[in-house]
Amino acid sequence: MAFVGTGRRLAQGDVGDAARAIGISTAVLLAFLEVEAAGRGFDSQNRPKMLFEPHVFWRNLSGTLRDAAAAAGLAYAKWKRNYPADSYPRLAKAIGIAREPGYRSASYGLPQILGENAKDAGFISAEAMFTAFKQGEREQLLGMVTLLKTWGLAKQLTGKDFSKPESWVPAVSRYNGKGYAANNYHVEAAAAFVKHDEGIDAATGAPLPPKAIVPADASMLLPGMKGEAVRALQGDLAALGFKFLKGIDGRFGDETEANVRLFQAGAGLTIDGKVGDKTRKAIAARLAALDEDMSPPTGKPADSPASGLLALLLAILNVIFNRK
């Protein structure tokens, strides 16, 4: 199956272009992305990030096709927490049974749009959406903002004080369903907006250090930079299991530097917190060797027994390197 795409990441300016296309501010879209999007749009094999949902396949089938899918373990009536490390073998078998229903039954890319919503995202079919998403994260982002516009959420993302959690409720409740409140998506979105719009840490009220946008010809990523190249770095590290408790936000701050130092220590590289050619190649090699994408579908830190230890290591590194 031709599942492999380009692996092309967002370029500087893509988020601003997408925000203008639906008439919302860049800071609002950055906040929405931070809370709602996966950390990266492709897996380690350059396939669009994908999660196949057997309960969705069930409702897209009937009769003998449903029976065949159920017998193959690809369809069941109710949702189960039963996901393999790699969902693509399931997708391949599903589209072999029923092509378009198979594509309709998985979520894809940076925004994790369910195939059933492909037409609302601007595509004639779920397979067409998947084909477009293989082209790059820009195409995935444009699918997301088209979906926001179709669902009327673009209007909900303008004309309000988005530093207040209640301003986000209409959008995040529609995008996530009833689970938005339990997961505090509206609170997280408000905090992310304050960070991107005002440069303020919403938790402490303290100004964040100013960030320089990564130059187009930059050969090294450094603390104090911001932009899509930094977001891609964070997404790659998240896929390797590093946690970003402050969000994958495109800002090379203390947490990102500490994660880079942890990676460098584990890879036997010079521990300087900077991402040059050697560190970049080592990250790429580690990603290529992955059997499982460790980053959660939403880009948020997953609950795991290791998360407390990692937080402690981050704190120790921050003290050692005098990062306040």
Count of domains forming the chain:
2
The answer to whether residue 212 scores a pLDDT higher than 70 is yes
Instruction: Give the separation between CA 167 and CA 14, rounded to whole angstroms.
Output: 25
Tell me the percentage of the chain whose pLDDT exceeds 90: 76
Mark whether 41 and 128 lie in a shared domain. Answer: yes
The answer to whether residue 320 scores a pLDDT higher than 60 is no
The reported pTM is 0.84
| Residue at a domain's end among 160, 178, 208 | 208
Mark whether 143 and 12 lie in a shared domain. Answer: yes
β-pairing verdict for 113-114 and 50-52: unpaired
What confidence score (pLDDT) does residue 110 get?
94
The answer to whether residue 24 scores a pLDDT higher than 80 is yes
Mark whether 179 and 216 lie in a shared domain. Answer: no
Mark whether 4 and 139 lie in a shared domain. Answer: yes
Which pLDDT tens digit goes with each residue over 164-210?
A: 999 999 999 999 888 898 889 999 999 999 999 999 988 888 888 88
Which pLDDT tens digit goes with each residue over 235-268?
A: 999 999 999 988 899 999 999 999 999 999 999 9
In a domain, 94, yes or no: no
Give the residue-averaged pLDDT of 64-87: 93
Q: Domain limits at 19? A: 1-49+109-208
In a domain, 268, yes or no: yes
The CATH number assigned to the domain holding 295 equals 1.10.101.10
Which pLDDT tens digit goes with each residue over 151-162?
A: 999 999 999 999
Give the residue-averaged pLDDT of 82-93: 93
Per-residue three-class SS string for the chain: CCCCCCCCCCCCCHHHHHHHHHCCCHHHHHHHHHHHCCCCCECCCCCECEEECHHHHHHCCCHHHHHHHHHCCCCCCCCCCCCCCCCHHHHHHHHHHCHHHHHHCEEECCCCEEHHHCCCCCCCCHHHHHHHHCCCHHHHHHHHHHHHHHCCHHHHCCCCCCCCHHHHHHHHHHHHHHHHCCCCHHHHHHHHHHHHHHCECCCCCCECCCCEECCCCCCCECCCEECHHHHHHHHHHHHCCCCCCCCCCCECCHHHHHHHHHHHHHHCCCCCCCECHHHHHHHHHHHHCCCCCCCCCCCCCCCCCHHHHHHHHHHHHHHHCCCC
Mark whether 114 and 41 lie in a shared domain. Answer: yes
Mark whether 114 and 202 lie in a shared domain. Answer: yes
What confidence score (pLDDT) does residue 218 get?
85
| Residue at a domain's end among 156, 176, 208 | 208
Q: Rounded to whole angstroms, what are the CA distances from 7 to 186, 190, 233, 248?
A: 30, 30, 13, 18
| Residue at a domain's end among 208, 228, 259 | 208
Q: State the chain's mean pLDDT as an integer.
A: 89
